[in-house]
Amino acid sequence: MTDGYGNINWWGFSPALDLQAIGLEPVCDKLMCAVPDEIHILLVGAGDIRHILKTVARRYRHGQKKIKFYVIESALELYARDMLLMMIALELQKNMGLQDKTELFLEIYGNSLVRQQSSHYVETMAHELIKMVTDFDYMDKKLPLFDLSNLKYKERDFLESILKFWRNRSKIAFEIAKCWDLRLRQLLGVRYDSRKNVYDWDYNMELIERGGSIVYLHQYKQWRENGVAFQIRDGTYNVPNRTLSSAMVFKLDGERFPRRGYWGDMVVSPYITFGIETEEKSFYKKQNNLHTKTAEDVSEFNITSLFYEIARNEKYELPKVKTDKEKEESQSTAKLE
């Protein structure tokens, strides 16, 4: 069986990085050489597209250089997720608003259960991705930024089967809530009945000690209990997120048995990647030694700003909230007019 970190990384265990800013430019400055016009970046075992997304979004800050990413992952499910999440990030404004796109991304990225409309979007995009995976000419036309030519034929076939499971035409059940509970029982053993105390311990002795104080305890405990991290919009989150399903092979009496389930992280949480670091310092404000904003708020702002920068090539500014005095002044001005 797997430990609490799982055998597949649906999200990374570190914040997203602008690889040009923290990697390439400092090295070139140290070596006193010019930054090349075309940059090649190898990502091994990143688990998601957080580094790609942030590096691409902030490319305009470094001279709009051409970047090629080479991605190596341990599971084909991660390639499928990467393509889906990037398709969300690149949705045109006329098709999906910035706020809707942010909510959809975070929901699919970090929730075990999603809304019905989000599940429908996954099914629709899975159908498109199947056509791309099986027809590279179609991919070059619709999504030319991806290149799957280095995959073997059997890997492409398996990738197609993953996407067909997402499309869900055969209505194969994926009871992620049951999978989550079974993993909890296996992970905690005799401590299962006192699992909330375990969550408290992990939060205070592990997450807080590693700089995750902006993650609220009640949000972390809720995610540990049911796998739902982001509920930005009010709604019913009751449809299994099929993008978090993967296969694992078990051995019994010398025979191998594949089992589909949730085999990802159940300890760290998806808040780490986009939810603990931000350029907007107002999110770190505290009252009574407690953060006034949560990791969910930071994640929403960071994803919104990245999508905005991809579309506009300019920095996203947090909308200014008017004070009561400013509201009164604007109302007085309106009356005078």
Q: What pLDDT shows up at residue 1?
A: 47
Q: How far apart are CA 67 and CA 42, in angstroms?
A: 11
C-beta separation of 88 from 108 below 8 A: yes
The total number of residues written for the chain in this structure: 337
Which are the contacts of 122, defined by CB distance < 8 A and separation ≥ 6? Answer: 84, 108, 114, 166, 241, 242, 243
Q: Amino acid identity, residue 167?
A: R
- For each successive 10 residues of the chain (337 residues), what is the average pLDDT? 84 94 79 82 95 96 90 96 96 93 97 96 96 94 93 95 88 89 94 96 93 94 97 91 91 81 95 96 91 95 97 90 57 52
Nearest CA to 238 among 84, 125, 119, 124? 119
Please report where in the chains the tokens 């930054």 appear, as a residue.
35
Q: Where are the domains of the chain?
A: 19-312
Strands 66-72 and 38-44: parallel
Task: Write down the pLDDT at residue 236.
Answer: 92
pTM summary value:
0.92
pLDDT score, position 136: 93
SS3 of residue 199 by DSSP: helix
What is the distance between the alpha carbons of residues 85 and 105, in angstroms, rounded to a whole number?
Answer: 7
